[in-house]
Amino acid sequence: MRQSSASVVLGLAWFAVQVAAAGTPVLVPRASTTITPITVTGNAFYQGSERFYIRGVDYQPGGGTGVESDPIANASSCERDIPYFTKLGINTIRVYAVDNSVNHDTCMNALAAAGIYLILDTDTSKYSLNRNDPAQSYNSVYLQSVFATIDEFANYPNTLAFLSGNEVINNASNTNCAPYVKAVTRDMKQYIGSRGYRSIPVGYSAADVAQNQQLMAEYMNCGTNDQRSDFYAINDYSWCDPSSFTTSGWDTLVQNYTGYGIPLFMSEYGCITNTRTFQEVSALYNTEMTGVFSGGLVYEYSQEGNGYGLVTISGDTVTPNSDFTYLQSAYAAQANPTGNGGASSTSAASTCPTQSSEWDVANDDLPAIPAAAEKYMTTGAGTGPGLNGPGSQEAGNAETESTGTASAGSGTVTETATSSSKKSDGVRIPAFDFQAFSVVVAVLFSMAGGMALL
Ligand SMILES: *[C@@H]1O[C@H](CO)[C@@H](O)[C@H](O)[C@H]1NC(C)=O
Ligand SMILES: *[C@@H]1O[C@H](CO)[C@@H](O)[C@H](O)[C@H]1NC(C)=O
Ligand SMILES: *[C@@H]1O[C@H](CO)[C@@H](O)[C@H](O)[C@H]1NC(C)=O
């Protein structure tokens, strides 16, 4: 299993020797230059002219518990794990938090050499929206961290996409966060454009909340192009083996999202009610779903407190669990569809949802970017605060917060009106607790599964 990374190293060494022998300066090229950046057309991802399906796993050894650690800043841990990614046959990992103050060349190049792309959450637990006070937490201190993460990763060709938030809305009761999530997404897209980076797709990863997951999808894809997301991602644990396309409800899911104008994928899937044999892989990469979905990411690579791990890690030792082998077989058995898999080449905007008991958003206006963050569009964000900075959720004040709205269709993020900045002193609960939420989801589905059996 370690052979694949060894052969990459040998290949590079061979190249260096050839260049040296030719008498030219030894300049070993970055291995990553051979991987083709992913683009979006219509409702699908493309690798050059070929449709690209995400076949991946979520990757955050150590999880979100205690002190976050960056799994792709550490050469020894990514070298330990990449051979297992290769064995699984995946092409993408999702990482939930990185340290934007350190360099990632080693792991990103090693991933690229293995043909693996990165989908990266730009939030960390300290630098994220606070779902209990989104207005205060949408501030320039937060955006500086997000933009610094973009700076660190934008030049790697295997950076597939950025996630502007994960499960900020996690309940029927907090859709009032939606304009802030959409504003952050807009600001990230604008930053990528202003800084002259390639068009790295930006989108949001939504919790499986029946009342609002699809309303949020419509909201993130409505309005002007500068405000629309590049894709939408859902976390979904409704297929619990043994199951089927119809039993799981994935048939309805496909129906519900048919016609959705931007790429859609599962940013987390893999219910653990019973042994996971990953029967859903045969549906996800089959034409019954590929007209709407572009694959997904299994939650998650390493065994953590909530019991979703495909492997158990102890120091430098990785031990695959039984579902690792099932996933490996499932991926190997299900090829992608030929041709474009039923993708649409046009990208229709959705209609913005109207305010209702399930959608607590009054109109289509978004908060303007805070003036203190707008300057980063021209100056760049500078050094990131890393994982251990003072944090941003309580950094909102008259200088750092947004003080106006940017009307839908304005095509601009400049502040258009001034209102007094409010500062509340409520309890702060980080929006970043994907693991806790996944446990809740798992418990709910275990209960649902148990009830279905009765
Ligand atoms: C890097 O990962 C290895 C596991 O391979 C671990 O032992 C080590 O503590 C990590 N280093 C840092 C700085 O996190
Ligand atoms: C969801 O919101 C309701 C109120 O609308 C609240 O009673 C409940 O505790 C919330 N659940 C979670 C998990 O936050
Ligand atoms: C599909 O949409 C219907 C009607 O809005 C809704 O009741 C149902 O929960 C949705 N199903 C899925 C799987 O999204």
Query: Does residue 100 have a pLDDT over 90?
Result: yes
Q: Is the peptide bond before 37 cis (omega within 30 degrees of 0)?
A: no
Which atom of ligand 2 has the smallest separation from the CA of 440? 13
**Which is nearest to 72 in space by CA: 54, 38, 53, 96?**
96
Distance CA 417, CA 396 (A): 18
Distance CA 360, CA 173 (A): 8
- DSSP state letters, 317-385: EEEE-HHHHHHHHHHHH-PPPSTTTT--SS-PPBPPPPPBTTB---SS-EEPPPHHHHTHHHH---S--
Q: What percent of the chain has pLDDT over 90?
A: 76
In the reported structure, the alpha carbon of residue 99 is separated from the centroid of ligand 1 by a whole-number distance in angstroms of: 14
- Per-residue pLDDT, averaged over 314-320, amounts to 96
Query: Does residue 16 have a pLDDT over 80?
Result: no
In the reported structure, the alpha carbon of residue 252 is separated from the centroid of ligand 3 by a whole-number distance in angstroms of: 7
In the reported structure, the alpha carbon of residue 286 is separated from the centroid of ligand 1 by a whole-number distance in angstroms of: 39
In the reported structure, the alpha carbon of residue 124 is separated from the centroid of ligand 2 by a whole-number distance in angstroms of: 23
Q: What are 31-89's pLDDT values in tens digits?
A: 445 899 999 999 999 999 999 999 999 999 987 655 689 999 989 999 999 999 999 99
User: If you take atom 5 of ligand 2, which residue's CA is the nearest one?
Assistant: 173
Residue 407 pLDDT: 66
The answer to whether 268 is a known catalytic residue is yes
248 phi/psi in degrees, rounded to 5? -70, -20
Q: What are 123-178's pLDDT values in tens digits?
A: 999 999 999 999 999 999 999 999 999 999 999 999 999 999 999 999 999 999 99
Is the pLDDT higher at 76 or at 397?
76
Residue of 68, 167, 280, 374 with catalytic role:
167
Query: Does residue 454 have a pLDDT over 60?
Result: no
In the reported structure, the alpha carbon of residue 447 is separated from the centroid of ligand 2 by a whole-number distance in angstroms of: 18
The answer to whether 167 is a known catalytic residue is yes
Residue of 68, 268, 300, 401 with catalytic role:
268
Which atom of ligand 2 has the smallest separation from the CA of 171? 1
- Per-residue pLDDT, averaged over 205-210, amounts to 96
- Per-residue pLDDT, averaged over 398-421, amounts to 60
In a 3-state reduction of DSSP, which class is residue 164? Answer: strand
Which atom of ligand 3 has the smallest separation from the CA of 253? 13
Query: Does residue 419 have a pLDDT over 70?
Result: no
Least distant ligand from the CA of 358: 2
Residue 34 pLDDT: 87
**Is the beta carbon of 249 within 6 A of some atom in ligand 3?**
yes
- DSSP state letters, 287-325: HHHHTTEEEEEES-SB--TTS--SEEEETTEEEE-HHHH
Distance CA 204, CA 221 (A): 11
Query: Does residue 105 have a pLDDT over 50?
Result: yes
Least distant ligand from the CA of 443: 2
Q: How confident is the model at residue 443 (pLDDT cuts 50, 70, 90)?
A: very low
**Which is nearest to 127 in space by CA: 96, 84, 102, 153?**
96
**Is the beta carbon of 252 within 6 A of some atom in ligand 3?**
yes
Indicate the residue type of 446.
Answer: S
Which atom of ligand 3 has the smallest separation from the CA of 214? 14
For the chain, the average pLDDT equals: 86
Q: What percent of the chain has pLDDT over 70?
A: 81
- Per-residue pLDDT, averaged over 243-259, amounts to 98
Residue 19 pLDDT: 35
Site to substitute for ligand 3 among 253, 256, 269, most atoms within 8 A of C-beta: 256
- Per-residue pLDDT, averaged over 1-9, amounts to 29
Contacts of 301 (CB under 8 A, 6+ apart): 57, 58, 59, 60, 61, 81, 84, 93, 309, 310, 311
Site to substitute for ligand 3 among 208, 209, 213, 214, most atoms within 8 A of C-beta: 214
- Per-residue pLDDT, averaged over 226-252, amounts to 97
Residues in the chain: 454
User: If you take atom 2 of ligand 2, which residue's CA is the nearest one?
Assistant: 173
Distance CA 112, CA 160 (A): 11
Is the pLDDT higher at 67 or at 200?
200
Distance CA 143, CA 122 (A): 10
Least distant ligand from the CA of 171: 2
In the reported structure, the alpha carbon of residue 264 is separated from the centroid of ligand 2 by a whole-number distance in angstroms of: 27
In the reported structure, the alpha carbon of residue 106 is separated from the centroid of ligand 1 by a whole-number distance in angstroms of: 14
Residues with CB under 6 A from ligand 1: 69, 74, 76-77, 80, 315-316
Which atom of ligand 1 has the smallest separation from the CA of 79? 5
Q: How confident is the model at residue 399 (pLDDT cuts 50, 70, 90)?
A: confident
Residue 33 pLDDT: 57
Query: Does residue 202 have a pLDDT over 90?
Result: yes
Residue 65 pLDDT: 53
11 phi/psi in degrees, rounded to 5? -60, -45
Residue 171 pLDDT: 96
Residues with CB under 6 A from ligand 2: 171-173
Q: Given CA atoms 91, 95, 100, 106 in this order, what sign does their dihedral have?
A: negative
